[in-house]
């Protein structure tokens, strides 16, 4: 697999735009060649339904969106041989996470953070101790050693509003900054193109328009399609003030999304299962790649080099993070069930 300039162990992704719903030829070829695929492939249909392909081309690049939120990460094809290692990895890293979690110190991020410039990419073989360091802590000359293991992640307002319906926001997207939240809600929570006659949802507006022209569908009673209107999407950007603190900025987003509701939990994923998700992401940034390599070397020593070269190890690392998060949710749900 061609080495993309943006690979890193915990958040590698194909450096491509999702716009138009089509992979770039280069990345599509790379994916085919390596037997790995972007995680969005299996949710391609859902993405389409969300109307992702209608996003105007003059908005922020999808590449920066992908980088910030983990969209488009490379994951293993379902039939890739490395999947055989996943049950072993899942067990191993879950135990490691439980050990690590006991002493991990996470904090709420500083209220006022400098906008994070694009981080310098690292070699996929050298994970940084903490991915959570932000621009405010890095000067040109030296690095200030953080007093904690990471920052709590920020909640998607939709998952605060309805945690059950929007669990995937926590599992699939790593929202570290308000900018991440803004991009996430604008991209993933817009009302998709739909037919006002029959309420059908379409992958893109042009397909909906073609459907409308036929006027052959059955008229049904109007249905509320959940999501943000274009007006709301625009207001989120218009009303954002980067000089305000995170809390004030998040509340502005909330008020635009849910004008008649109050949030039932704080903006940071700092308690309950959200806290575990924050910790898990910090743990993964610090140790995920290392543990994956340990298991891979133990179980398939002679093939590890080729797996690294073809990018399959990165894909396995991303798939294993999803497995770990699923484990965390399962255990949490089980404990909730016992408590009830």
Window contacting Zn ion (CB under 5 A); options: 5-13, 192-200, 249-257, 315-323: 192-200
Window contacting Zn ion (CB under 5 A); options: 85-93, 94-102, 148-156, 241-249: 148-156
Q: Considering only residues 275-334, where is the footprint of Zn ion by CB under 5 A?
A: none
Contact 29, 1 (CB under 8 A): no
Instruction: Give the pair of three-digit tokens for residue 106.
Output: 């996470």
* Residue 198 interacts with Zn ion (CB under 5 A): yes or no: yes
Which one of 36, 82, 169, 279 is in contact with Zn ion (CB under 5 A)? 169
Minimum Å distance from CB 188 to Zn ion? 5
Q: What is the number of H-type helices and E-type strands within the chain? A: 14, 4
Minimum Å distance from CB 170 to Zn ion? 8
Using DSSP's 3-state secondary structure scheme, residue 16 falls into coil
* Residue 167 interacts with Zn ion (CB under 5 A): yes or no: no
How many Å separate Cα 23 from the centre of its chain? 18
Give me the torsion for CA of 162, 164, 168, 174, rounded to 10°: 60
* Residue 170 interacts with Zn ion (CB under 5 A): yes or no: no
Cβ-based burial of 102 (10 A; exposed 0-12, middle 13-18, buried ≥19): exposed
Alpha carbons within 13 A on the beta-carbon side of 19: 13
Which one of 129, 144, 217, 334 is in contact with Zn ion (CB under 5 A)? 217
* Residue 65 interacts with Zn ion (CB under 5 A): yes or no: no
Q: Which is nearer to Zn ion, 50 or 85 (CB)?
A: 50
Q: Which is nearer to Zn ion, 89 or 154 (CB)?
A: 154
Q: Whole-angstrom Cα distance, residue 14 to residue 59?
A: 19
Using DSSP's 3-state secondary structure scheme, residue 228 falls into strand
How many Å separate Cα 320 from the centre of its chain? 14
Q: Which is nearer to Zn ion, 227 or 288 (CB)?
A: 227
* Residue 158 interacts with Zn ion (CB under 5 A): yes or no: yes
Window contacting Zn ion (CB under 5 A); options: 36-44, 129-137, 143-151, 197-205: 197-205
Q: Which of 256, 249, 254 is nearest to 235 (CA)?
A: 256
* Residue 195 interacts with Zn ion (CB under 5 A): yes or no: yes
Minimum Å distance from CB 173 to Zn ion? 7
The binding site for Zn ion (CB under 5 A) comprises 156, 158, 169, 195, 197-198, 200, 217
């Amino acid at each position: 697999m061609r080495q993309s300039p943006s690979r890193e162990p915990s958040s590698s992704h194909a450096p491509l735009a999702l716009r138009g719903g089509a992979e770039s030829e280069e990345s599509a070829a790379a994916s085919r060649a390596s037997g790995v695929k972007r995680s969005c492939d299996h949710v391609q249909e859902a993405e389409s339904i969300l109307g992702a392909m209608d996003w105007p081309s003059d908005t922020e690049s999808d590449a920066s969106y992908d980088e910030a939120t983990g969209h488009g990460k490379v994951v293993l094809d379902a039939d890739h041989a490395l999947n055989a290692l996943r049950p072993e990895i899942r067990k191993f890293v879950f135990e490691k996470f439980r050990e690590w979690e006991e002493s991990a110190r996470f904090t709420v991020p500083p209220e006022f953070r400098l906008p994070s410039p694009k981080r310098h990419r690292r070699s996929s073989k050298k994970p940084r101790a903490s991915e959570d360091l932000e621009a405010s802590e890095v000067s040109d000359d030296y690095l200030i050693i953080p007093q904690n293991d990471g920052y709590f992640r920020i909640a998607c307002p939709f998952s605060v509003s309805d945690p059950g319906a929007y669990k995937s926001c926590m599992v699939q997207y790593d929202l570290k900054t308000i900018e991440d939240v803004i991009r996430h809600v604008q991209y993933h929570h817009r009302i998709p193109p739909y037919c006002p006659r029959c309420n059908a949802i379409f992958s893109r507006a042009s397909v909906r328009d073609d459907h409308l022209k036929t006027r052959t569908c059955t008229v049904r009673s109007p249905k509320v399609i959940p999501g943000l209107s274009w007006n709301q999407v625009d207001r989120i950007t218009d009303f954002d003030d980067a000089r305000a603190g995170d809390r004030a900025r998040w509340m502005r987003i909330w008020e635009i999304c849910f004008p008649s509701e109050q949030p039932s939990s704080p903006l940071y994923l700092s308690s309950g299962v959200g806290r575990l998700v924050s910790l898990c992401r910090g743990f993964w940034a610090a140790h995920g790649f290392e543990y994956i390599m340990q298991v891979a070397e133990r179980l398939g020593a002679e093939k590890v080099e080729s797996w690294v070269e073809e990018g399959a190890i990165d894909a396995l690392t991303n798939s294993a993070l999803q497995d770990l998060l699923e484990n965390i949710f399962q255990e949490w749900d089980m404990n909730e069930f016992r408590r009830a």
